[in-house]
């Protein structure tokens, strides 16, 4: 029983870490997109711009920085896709493990019960309007 508890805890922790990393990468991806959009509006490819490289601010031109940003952005996007797939695999592993050992967690069956009843409670969005 202790081994099963540890396995579940470990699986959830790994899934949580992967989800957190995906979230961080999505923020990086959106920042790259914002910068690329700003650089696309610049008409002069020799205009000065600054790039943070290893904690050091380096002076470059738009022409030099733009390809690096596009490359980094595409790598971030592919990494997000890869981590999402990994997250799905981990979720499936956990579900298979639960089914194999007959493990049921309190509260996981509750949403299915609400769907069967057909009566959905109105969800509070947490938004205040004046």
Dist CA 49 CA 57 (whole Å): 10
pTM for the model stands at 0.69
**Close Cβ partners of 103 (under 8 Å, ≥ 6 residues apart):** 4, 8, 97
Question: Residue 109 has what pLDDT?
Answer: 58
Closest listed residue to residue 42, CA positions, set 58, 62, 64: 62
Q: Which residue has the higher pLDDT, 34 or 12?
A: 34
Dist CA 29 CA 80 (whole Å): 9
How does pLDDT run across 32-72, given as a tens digit for each residue? 999 999 999 999 999 999 998 899 999 999 999 999 999 99
SS3 content of the chain, % helix, strand, coil (to 5): 65, 10, 25
How does pLDDT run across 67-97, given as a tens digit for each residue? 999 999 999 999 999 999 999 998 888 888 7
């Amino acid at each position: 029983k202790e081994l099963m508890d540890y396995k579940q805890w470990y699986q959830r922790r790994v899934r949580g870490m992967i989800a957190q990393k995906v979230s961080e990468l999505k923020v990086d991806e959106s920042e790259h997109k914002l910068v690329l959009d700003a650089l696309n509006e610049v008409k002069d490819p020799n205009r000065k711009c600054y790039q943070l490289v290893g904690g050091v601010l380096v002076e470059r031109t738009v022409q030099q920085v733009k390809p690096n940003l596009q490359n980094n952005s595409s790598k971030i996007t592919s990494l997000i896709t890869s981590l999402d797939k990994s997250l799905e695999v981990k979720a499936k592993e956990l579900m298979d493990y639960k089914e194999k050992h007959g493990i049921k967690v309190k509260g996981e069956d509750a949403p299915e019960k609400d769907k069967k009843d057909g009566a959905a409670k109105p969800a509070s969005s947490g938004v205040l309007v004046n």
